[in-house]
C-alpha cells in the first residue's frame, strides 16, 4: 500500500484533469509501478490526488489536505515546473468565477483533455474500444461565443449596484464589466440596465432579506440575425419605470424584444414561469443552416451557434436518413434537430417534456414550411413506448439528446425492443453517455463512431455525437 498521511508534502506530476477542472496527480507504489493491469491498457494503477489550479504537465509541490480510501485532495504549494500547456488566463476573474476552469490551459490542450476524457469514459464505463473517433471539432476563435447571458444583480459593501457572476459555489455577486465568452452586446445591455436601475432608484433583489426588485438580467442574441432580446427577472408581478428602460435599451443595435419575468420564489431557478412583453417582438429569430427558429425567452436553445451548426450537421451525417426513413428525435427542445433532419427523411417525430417548447417546435415547422414532422409533449420514456404499443409506430433511426442525467433506462429498453437500424446519441455529459452506450451495447447495439464538439470553450463541458448500429 502507498503510505500517505494528511499534511504530507509531496512532489506530484499532473497527468490528467477531473470533470471540474482539478488537476489529477497519481502516486505510484513501487510494487505497482510495473503493474499494467490498471483501468486502461498500458496504464499503471496509482493513488489519485486531486489538486485545484493545476494543469496537465505541471510538476508541483502539494500538501495533502484530505484523504479518502482510494483518493485524496492536495493543495498546490508551489509549481516546480510549469506545464508547456500553461498560459495566462485572459480573464482576470477566471479563478473566482469558476465558469472558465480551463482558461489557464492553451486551447489545443483543452481540446485534447476533453477528447481523452470522452475516450476514457467510453472505454472504461461504456466498454467500447473498437470504434472510429473522428477528430474533435474546436472553434477557430474560441471567444465571445455564447448567445445567452444570465447576469445576477446585487450590491457591493458601499451599496453600489453591481452585476457580473456568482463567485464559485456561492451566491455572492462579483462585479465584472466584460465576460470574454459572452457576445459583446450582452455586456452592453448589462451596463445599460444597471444605469437604468441607478437613475430610477431601483434596488437589486437581496436573497437574504427577500427584498428589492431585480434578480437577473437575461440577454439573448441571434447569431445570424443580430437580433437582441432582454428579459429582466424581478421579484414582483408588476414592472416599474418601463418607459425609461425601453429608452435606455433601444439605442443598442439589434434591440428587438424587451421582457420581464416575475419570479417571487426563493429558488435557484433563474426565470419565472412566464415572460411578459414590454416592448418589441414576441421572440427573436436565428438560423441554423437554412432553417429559421423562433426563440422565446423561456425556451431552451443551444448557447454556441457556431458549434451547434457543426454538431447538427454531424448528427445528420451520422443518421444519414433515406427519403422513406422514419426518425424519432427524443428530447427535441424547440425541434432544432428534428427540423434539420426532416429535409432528408420520410417522417420525423419529436418528443419533449416542456409543452411551450413543443408549441415553439410546431411554429418553427410552420414558418419553415416543413410538413413531415409531428411533435408530442411528454416524457420520451412514456411517449415512445406508448406510440409503439398502441399505434405500432416504427423507427428506422432514433436520435436522443438528453439533459445531463442521460436517458431513462426504460427508454433505452424500449429503443432496444424497437430495434431501429441506427441510434444517434447526442450528449452533453460523457459520463451518462458512456453508461447508456453500455446498456445499448448489451441490447445488441455497437458503437461505431464518436466525435466531440467543443460547445463550451474554456469550461469543462463537452458535447459528443455517437452513432450506434445494430
Ligand atoms: N435537442 C434540443 C434540446 C436538447 S436539451 C436542442 O438541441 O436544442 C434536452 C431537452 O430535453 C430539454 O429541452 C429538456 O426540456 C428535455 N427533457 C428533459 N427530460 C425529458 C424527458 N424525460 N423526456 C423528454 N424531454 C425531456
Q: Candidates 340, 352, 378, 461: which one to mutate for ligand 1, based on the most atoms within 8 Å of Cβ?
A: 352
pLDDT given for residue 221 in this prediction: 97
Q: Is the CB of 204 under 6 A from ligand 1?
A: no
Give the angle 152-299-262 at the CA atoms, nearest 5°.
50
Q: Is the pLDDT of residue 264 over 90?
A: yes
Q: How far is the CA of 334 from the centre of ligand 1 (A)?
A: 9
Residue 43 has pLDDT above 50, yes or no: no
Ligand 1 centre to CA of 138 (Å) is 24
Find all residues with CB under 8 Å of 77, minimum gap 6, and list them: 9, 60, 61, 62, 63
Q: Give the C-alpha distances (Å, rounded to integers) separating 107 from 68, 104, 334.
A: 33, 9, 31
* Contact of 434 with 442, CB cutoff 8 Å: no
> What pLDDT does 30 receive?
55
Q: Which three cell numbers stand for residue 436?
A: 447508456
Residue 83: what pLDDT?
A: 97
Instruction: Look at residue 29 in the predicted model and tell me its pLDDT.
Output: 62
- What's the gap in Å between 333 CA and the centre of ligand 1? 5
Cβ–ligand 1 contact at 453 (below 6 Å): no
Q: What is the pTM of this model?
A: 0.91
Give the per-residue pLDDT at 118: 97
For 250-263, give one letter per residue: b (16+ CB within 10 A) or e.
eeeeebbbbbbbbb
Q: Looking at residue 325, what DSSP letter applies?
A: -
**Which residues are known catalytic residues?**
428
Residue 447 above 50 pLDDT?
yes
Handedness of CA 183, 189, 191, 193 (dihedral sign): negative
Report the pLDDT averaged over residues 29-53: 62
Report the pLDDT value the prediction gives residue 34, as an integer from 0 to 100: 46
Q: 50 CA to middle of ligand 1, Å?
A: 33
CA of 353 relative to ligand 1 center, distance in Å:
7
Atom number in ligand 1 closest to CA 299: 13
The tens digit of pLDDT for each residue in 379-417 reads: 999 999 999 999 888 999 999 999 999 999 999 999 999
Residue 232 has pLDDT above 80, yes or no: yes
Reply yes or no on whether the pLDDT at 32 is more than 70: no
Element (H, E) at 23: strand 23-27
pLDDT by residue (tens digit) across 176-194?
999 999 999 999 999 999 9
C-alpha 223: how far from its chain's center? Answer: 18
Our answer on whether the CB atom of 351 is closer than 6 Å to any ligand 1 atom is yes
The finding on whether 360 has its CB within 6 A of some atom of ligand 1 is no
Mean pLDDT, range 118-132, rounded to an integer: 97
Task: Output phi, psi for 189, to 5 deg.
Answer: -65, -45
Judged against a pLDDT cut of 60, whether residue 41 lies above it is answered with no
Region 114-132 average pLDDT: 97
Q: Is the CB of 230 under 6 A from ligand 1?
A: no
Beta-carbon contacts of 31 under 8 Å, excluding residues fewer than 6 positions away, are none
Confidence tier at 168 by pLDDT (50, 70, 90): confident
Q: Measured from the CB, is residue 354 less than 6 Å from ligand 1?
A: yes
Tell whether ligand 1 has an atom less than 6 A from the beta carbon of residue 43. no
Share the mean pLDDT of the chain.
93
Q: Whose CA is nearest to atom 3 of ligand 1?
A: 333
Amino acid at each position: 500500500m502507498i503510505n500517505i498521511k494528511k499534511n504530507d508534502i509531496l512532489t506530484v506530476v499532473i497527468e490528467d484533469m477531473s470533470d471540474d477542472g482539478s488537476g489529477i496527480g497519481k502516486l505510484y507504489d513501487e510494487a505497482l509501478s510495473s503493474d499494467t493491469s490498471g483501468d486502461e491498457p498500458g496504464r499503471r494503477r496509482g493513488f489519485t490526488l486531486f489538486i485545484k489550479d493545476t494543469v496537465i504537465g505541471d510538476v508541483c509541490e502539494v500538501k495533502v489536505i484530505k484523504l479518502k480510501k482510494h483518493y485524496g485532495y492536495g493543495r498546490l504549494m508551489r509549481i516546480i515546473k510549469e506545464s508547456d500547456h500553461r498560459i495566462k488566463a485572459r480573464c482576470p476573474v477566471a479563478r473566482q468565477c469558476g465558469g472558465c476552469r480551463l482558461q489557464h490551459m492553451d486551447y489545443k490542450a483543452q481540446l485534447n483533455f476533453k477528447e481523452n476524457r470522452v475516450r476514457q469514459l467510453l472505454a472504461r464505463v461504456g466498454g467500447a474500444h473498437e470504434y472510429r473517433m473522428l477528430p474533435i471539432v474546436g472553434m477557430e476563435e474560441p471567444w465571445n461565443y455564447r448567445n445567452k447571458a444570465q447576469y445576477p444583480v446585487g450590491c457591493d459593501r458601499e451599496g453600489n449596484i453591481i452585476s457580473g457572476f456568482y463567485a464559485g459555489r456561492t451566491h455572492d455577486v462579483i462585479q465584472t464589466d466584460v465576460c470574454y465568452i459572452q457576445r459583446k452586446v450582452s455586456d452592453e445591455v448589462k451596463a445599460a440596465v444597471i444605469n437604468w436601475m441607478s437613475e430610477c432608484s431601483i434596488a437589486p433583489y437581496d436573497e437574504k432579506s427577500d427584498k428589492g426588485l431585480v434578480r437577473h438580467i437575461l440577454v439573448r442574441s441571434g447569431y445570424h440575425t443580430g437580433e437582441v432580446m432582454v428579459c429582466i427577472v424581478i421579484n414582483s408581478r408588476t414592472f416599474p419605470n418601463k418607459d425609461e428602460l425601453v429608452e435606455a435599451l433601444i439605442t443598442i443595435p439589434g434591440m428587438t424584444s424587451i421582457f420581464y419575468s416575475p419570479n417571487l420564489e426563493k429558488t435557484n431557478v433563474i426565470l419565472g414561469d412566464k415572460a411578459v412583453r414590454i416592448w418589441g417582438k414576441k421572440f427573436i429569430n436565428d438560423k441554423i443552416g437554412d432553417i429559421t427558429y423562433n426563440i422565446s425567452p423561456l425556451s431552451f436553445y443551444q448557447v454556441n451557434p457556431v458549434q451547434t451548426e457543426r454538431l447538427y450537421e454531424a448528427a445528420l451525417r451520422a443518421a444519414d436518413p433515406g427519403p422513406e426513413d422514419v426518425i424519432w428525435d427524443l428530447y427535441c427542445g424547440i425541434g432544432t434537430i428534428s427540423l434539420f433532419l426532416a429535409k432528408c427523411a420520410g417522417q420525423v417525430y419529436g418528443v419533449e417534456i416542456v409543452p411551450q417548447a413543443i408549441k415553439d417546435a410546431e411554429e418553427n415547422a410552420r414558418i419553415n414550411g416543413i410538413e413531415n414532422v409531428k411533435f408530442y409533449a411528454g416524457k420520451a420514456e412514456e411517449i415512445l413506448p406508448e406510440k409503439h404499443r398502441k399505434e405500432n409506430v416504427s423507427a428506422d433511426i432514433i436520435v436522443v439528446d438528453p439533459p445531463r442525467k442521460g436517458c431513462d433506462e426504460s427508454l433505452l429498453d424500449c429503443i432496444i425492443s424497437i430495434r431501429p437500424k441506427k441510434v444517434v446519441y447526442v450528449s452533453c455529459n460523457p459520463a451518462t453517455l458512456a453508461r447508456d452506450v453500455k446498456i445499448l451495447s448489451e441490447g445488441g447495439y455497437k458503437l461505431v463512431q464518436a466525435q466531440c464538439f467543443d460547445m463550451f470553450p474554456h469550461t469543462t463541458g463537452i458535447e459528443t455525437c455517437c452513432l450506434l448500429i445494430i
